[in-house]
Structure 1
Amino acid sequence: MERTRQLMGEVLVYCFVVVLLTGGFLTFFYTPSNEVVAYNGFYEPLRGTPMSAAYNSILTIDSEVRGGPFVRRLHHSSSIVLVLGTVVWALLGRFRYALAALGLGVLGVLSGYGSADDLFFRTFLGKLPTPWWYGLHLLLALAVGAVLVISSRREAVRNPRTLPFVALSLGLTILAVFGL
């Protein structure tokens, strides 16, 4: 059971690395702003439609950035695997770290949707400026990463990693991320 929990922790760390790398790529094309702009992208029926600059940048990523939809899907599926994997990790017995990572992860996912300016648009949470959502998303991502890395290092002290163990955890991460 100890080794299974450690394997799950390693998969979570690798999923976090995927979330971090894809989020870094998406950051280059994202505009965290509530400023209302007219859409002028490839999708003809939306041309001239007023929307926030944040949502406009997401539509641009999806339609004009090479590999944009793939990276967004990878970011999204890795985030889901990260949150669901943390639940499994908690069930395997690492409650102290898992509950912190789970809470931070769920808040991180919600703040990610808030920074996209689509999920909370017509709710009271939509009144918060998009840059706040984006900043909260980045802060929570760093906090989740810190919790996962600290926990992984502590478990590696008790049970050192071996090459087959690392290969298995990388393989499971790839299956989990691309399987969703």
Structure 2
Amino acid sequence: MFRVERARQLLGEMLVYCFAVVLLTGGFLAFFYKPSGEAVLYGGGYEPLRGVTLSAAYDSILYIGFDVRGGAFIRGLHHHSSILLGLGTVAWLLLGRFRYAFAVLGLGAFAGISGYGAADDLLSGTFLGKAPIPLWYGLHLLVAVAVGAVLVVSSRREAARQPRTVPFVVLSIGLTLLAVFGL
């Protein structure tokens, strides 16, 4: 029983660090993102789309991917870390931390949907795409804060039951980096 609790605590710590990666990469992306549904003509680095009318939000996503140094890497890291956060939450749920896992999983799914809505790419043309892009972006940020709060509260409660040690923290950070950059 002790080992399952420690594994659950390790996975919970990894989720917190994975969320930190999502938060940092999201902060970087926010500097270049324009949450607007205004129609603009694309004039960026991707030749086949030049002159095509698209939303300012999608134009900024293309700008990040093709014209910002390291932008495609950061966007991919944000996406992969978000997926790891969702998969890790499912594993955390299976290890028995039911109280918070459903909240993180539900909020994480909503964060993913609102992220796609804010990018105006996958949801465009659907009934969900009818919502204004600034609304999607605001929901994405709000849900990210809620996920972080749930993870931090849960991690602190786990640490109160069984304190972290330096090797434990180093292991959880190392495994998180391996998972994030190993995808």
Please point out which of 52, 56, 60 is paired with 2:59: 56
Give TM-score, length-normalised by structure 1: 0.99
Deviation per CA, 1:98-143, whole angstroms, max 9, x where unpaired? 0100000011011101100011111111100000000000000000
For 1:158 and 1:59, the matched residues in 2 are separated by: 46
Please point out which of 5, 9, 14 is paired with 1:6: 9
- Structure 2, unpaired ranges of 5+: none
The list of structure 1 runs, each at least 4 consecutive aligned residues, that deviate by more than 6 angstroms after superposition, is none
For 1:21 and 1:115, the matched residues in 2 are separated by: 18
Per the TM alignment, residue 8 of structure 1 is displaced from its structure 2 partner at its CA by: 0.3
Match of 1:157 in 2: 160
For 1:179 and 1:111, the matched residues in 2 are separated by: 26
For 1:31 and 1:132, the matched residues in 2 are separated by: 12
Give TM-score, length-normalised by structure 2: 0.97
Please point out which of 126, 129, 139 is paired with 1:126: 129
Q: Is 1:36 the equivalent of 2:36? A: no
- Give 1:69-84 correspondences, 5 Å limit: 69-84=72-87
Number of corresponding residues: 180
Per the TM alignment, residue 25 of structure 1 is displaced from its structure 2 partner at its CA by: 0.3
**Percent of aligned positions with the same letter in both sequences?**
72
- Give 1:18-37 correspondences, 5 Å limit: 18-37=21-40
Per the TM alignment, residue 175 of structure 1 is displaced from its structure 2 partner at its CA by: 1.1
RMSD: 0.6
Letter in 1 for 2:148: G
Please point out which of 165, 168, 171 is paired with 1:168: 171
